């Protein structure tokens, strides 16, 4: 399952520190997509902006479960830094924010 909207509000922790994910409204069935699959071309606008992977911010219609890994990294960064890592006001500001931290891509 690719959740596609991981953010702190969708990560539940109980008193035993058991972690559960919620809100699977944007989720898709599996991570191993091929171009022949109907799910390969996916919805462009998924995920909450501050936790959205760059390939989604850049409107790529082709992405994998890696978008959830990016979101988890953003959540962990927020836990450590006690503030969201990438606070973009819009999609362009979001990309600038990511590039400020990670640098620009070589390709």
- Residues taking part in catalysis: 5
3-state SS, 92-103, equals: HHHHHHHHHHHC
Q: Are 56 and 44 in contact (CB under 8 A)?
A: yes
**Dihedral-angle region of residue 12 (phi above 0 means left; psi in -120 to 50 means alpha; beta otherwise):** beta
**CA torsion 52→58→63→66, rounded to 10°?**
-40
């Amino acid at each position: 399952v690719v959740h596609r909207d991981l953010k702190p509000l969708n990560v539940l922790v109980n008193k035993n520190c058991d972690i559960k994910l919620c809100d699977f409204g944007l989720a898709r069935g599996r991570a191993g997509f091929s171009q022949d699959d109907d799910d390969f071309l996916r919805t462009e606008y998924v995920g909450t902006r501050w936790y959205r992977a760059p390939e989604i911010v850049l409107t790529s219609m082709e992405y994998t479960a890696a978008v959830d890994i990016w979101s988890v990294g953003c959540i962990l960064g927020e836990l450590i830094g006690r503030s969201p890592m990438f606070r973009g006001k819009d999609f362009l500001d979001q990309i600038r924010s990511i590039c400020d931290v990670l640098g620009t891509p070589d390709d």
